[in-house]
Structure 1
Amino acid sequence: MNIEKALEVIERMRLPNGAYTASLSKDYDFVWIRDVCYTVLPYLHTSSDQYEKAYYALFDLFKEYEWKLTIHTEKKPVYLYEYIHARYSKELKEINQEWGHAQNDAVGVFLWGVGEGIKHGKKMIRNQEDLKIVQKLVDYLECLEYWDSKDNGMWEENMEVHASSVGACVAGLLSVKPLVNVKDEIIKHGQETLRFLLPRESQTKETDLALLSLIYPFMVVDHENAQRILDDVTGKLERTYGCIRYKNDLYYNEGSEAEWCFGFPWLGLCYSNLGMHEKAKEYAEKTHKIVPDNWEIPELFIGGSNVPNGNTPLAWAVSMSYLLLDRMKDSEWLKITKLG
């Protein structure tokens, strides 16, 4: 298996405007802010300009809807359509369909990605207009009072305060603090919410796959909480082909919860971030087993079956699998499996 094929698959999902579709499936070829930010992580540590181009596309998207940002830096959204939308057409236009658009983590991961790009020498800010968008997104999160804001979360479902959303916002605000005006108090409010909520994801969810984002890529939790999250996810959510998102998840549930393929590489990346290399190796081996030779990794395996759903390949599943196996490329395990 050649892990560089992963980048070829990701490239097939890149649009002329620089953004990426979530999948090549005709039913799932929308552009999600979150998916784009995760999909381009393999380019963060390279000289390629794909990372910047993806963020330029998202900056241009925010400029298209800057009027909405301007309103909601002063007045909280009430209806879901008033929030910064989570998904768009391939032309980066809002889709006129009722949707769970209150997804604060998408704004958080965008801000985090801007700051991370700068740390890695990327030219993330083209002009003052881009910088103004960063400031307005910070002000938008403050106006929302994100630390106490019910949102649809990473999985676009019921409205409640999600630790993964709060953590993404904390990471994003910390990341852009050197660039724009970020009040210390709004970061502290988010950190206090995390101390109160963790290791739970929310009032209704004891654990959730989305909590892994607090370890990778954000690293906004201490080692003790990180370990508790990992123990909960591996002990309660891990399955044969990956991880379920949370108990009693109804999405593609045909007798049991769907098993999401990016659960294995995500766990491996979390263990790697914590310096737990043997555990990272264990999940690299599990990832290797579910990656097909053509690297078209599906979104999930339908619950109660060994059949993948039609959202194949899923961009950020390919990205995370590549990231983990690339990290492991110098290990003895990788040499034995002849990846590279």
Structure 2
Amino acid sequence: MLKESYQVLEQLRKPHGMYIASPSNFYKYVWIRDNVYISLPFANKNNELYEKTYYRMLDLFREYEWKIDILLENKPKWVWEYIHARYSADEVKEIHDEAWGHVQHDMIGAFLFGIGLGIRHDKTMIRDQKDLDILQKLVYYLENVEYWHDPDNGMWEEWREVHASSVGACIAGLKSIEKTVEVPSTLLENGFKSLFDLFPRESKDKSVDLAQLSLIYPYRILNGIMGEEIVSRVEKSLLRESGVIRYAGDSYYSTLEETHGREKPRHFYKGTEAEWCFGLPWLSLCHLELGNIEKAMEYLEKTEEIMIEPGVIPELFYSGTRKPNPNTPLGWSCAMYILAKEALMK
């Protein structure tokens, strides 16, 4: 299953090094956040696949450096002014033919975290001074938008709130590169204050959210009792037979509305939420971080049970079924399985 999972990722990798999220018509794009998560299995590998993904993302930021420069001088007012989250697959260009929730501070934090992770694994992540300049500008970008209290669309690209998972991603990213570029201490202080003020909630609207698992893995911002609290709340409220719902009332691929739309009424479809497959290996990784080896193994086995075929894991199953949505396989799902499997094989 491990070999087949890597084959899935290979099929999703574009020649320039980034990954489309899924072969489906809906997901034939490259997202910054997805590429961070999909590339994680390669961070400790003796090849250049990890660097290649980040070089292409650095080139993306270099191409749109003019936009970043504007954002360093002016706080954005409109969604399209922010750094975009999703790009065309081959040219890696902004997409302007439909509205999108591009205000996603967590993707910037995730990218910075991934750069720092590569450096810790002795990979050559920085090619030249221009790359360093881009990293520094992204730090100042987070400072200018005031990530710690600027409402963003979050990991699920929906309505804007201050999300604990987004704040945590930025904290992790800034800490990850603080020895590489200048990171003002106030940026971390403000972030931690916001995160702890929200704890244990994800946001004002959401008491608990699947995205909060990122605070434990891969970001390792919360551990011990606080990490246990987050995992316990996710398991109690969101865990289902074939996956983990993102949050109570999620309408994305709800059995009452089988669409791929994103701007939906809030808290309207309770009991019909889609079951996200990568929630299972994610819980496995979180339990491993917390020292719960048996629970980690349990969730890994659950992940293997829901595979459609060896290595093939969908984005989600419709509530209470084994019917996957069209976004199958999902690169993020397969990457999380690889990470959990390899971690437990050590």
Question: Is TM more than 0.5 here?
Answer: yes
Whether 2:74 is the aligned partner of 1:72: answer no
Give how far 1:148 is off. 0.7
Output the amino acid matched with 2:302: K
Whether 2:141 is the aligned partner of 1:151: answer no
Greater alpha carbon shift after TM alignment, 267-276 vs 110-119: 267-276
What's the TM-score once normalised by structure 2's chain length? 0.93
Give how far 1:144 is off. 0.7
Match of 2:343 in 1: 327
Give how far 1:293 is off. 3.1
Q: Write the mapping of 1:83-232 to structure 2, written as runs, cut at 5 A.
A: 83-90=82-89, 91-96=91-96, 97-232=98-233
Whether 2:311 is the aligned partner of 1:295: answer yes
Output the amino acid matched with 2:312: E
Query: SS at the partner of 1:230?
Result: helix
Match of 1:63 in 2: 62
Give how far 1:222 is off. 3.6
The answer for unaligned runs of 5 or more in structure 2 is 257-271
Find the aligned partners of 1:73 and 1:42 in 2 and give their Cα distance: 33
Query: SS at the partner of 2:135?
Result: helix
Find the aligned partners of 2:6 and 2:322 in 1 and give their Cα distance: 26
Match of 1:236 in 2: 237
1:244-298 CA-partner distances (Å, limit 9, x unpaired): 0000000000140000000000000011112211111111111121123331211
Give how far 1:304 is off. 4.7
Output the amino acid matched with 1:59: L
Find the aligned partners of 2:307 and 2:345 in 1 and give their Cα distance: 16
Greater alpha carbon shift after TM alignment, 268-277 vs 257-266: 268-277
The answer for unaligned runs of 5 or more in structure 1 is 331-340
Give how far 1:133 is off. 0.6
Whether 2:287 is the aligned partner of 1:271: answer yes
**CA-atom RMSD, angstroms?**
1.0
Find the aligned partners of 1:187 and 1:87 in 2 and give their Cα distance: 27
Query: SS at the partner of 2:179?
Result: coil
Query: SS at the partner of 1:267?
Result: helix
1:137-172 CA-partner distances (Å, limit 9, x unpaired): 000000011011100000000111000000000000
Find the aligned partners of 2:289 and 2:222 in 1 and give their Cα distance: 12
Residue among 252, 257, 262 paired with 2:278: 262
Find the aligned partners of 1:176 and 1:183 in 2 and give their Cα distance: 12
Match of 1:51 in 2: 50
Find the aligned partners of 2:298 and 2:226 in 1 and give their Cα distance: 21
Q: Is the CA contact 1:160–1:203 (under 8 Å) kept in the aligned structure 2?
A: yes
Output the amino acid matched with 2:151: K
Find the aligned partners of 1:17 and 1:214 in 2 and give their Cα distance: 30
Give how far 1:185 is off. 0.9
Q: Is the CA contact 1:243–1:259 (under 8 Å) kept in the aligned structure 2?
A: yes
Q: Is the CA contact 1:254–1:304 (under 8 Å) kept in the aligned structure 2?
A: no
Match of 1:250 in 2: 251
Give how far 1:235 is off. 0.5
Find the aligned partners of 2:179 and 2:107 in 1 and give their Cα distance: 20
**Equivalent residues, number:** 329
Query: SS at the partner of 1:295?
Result: coil
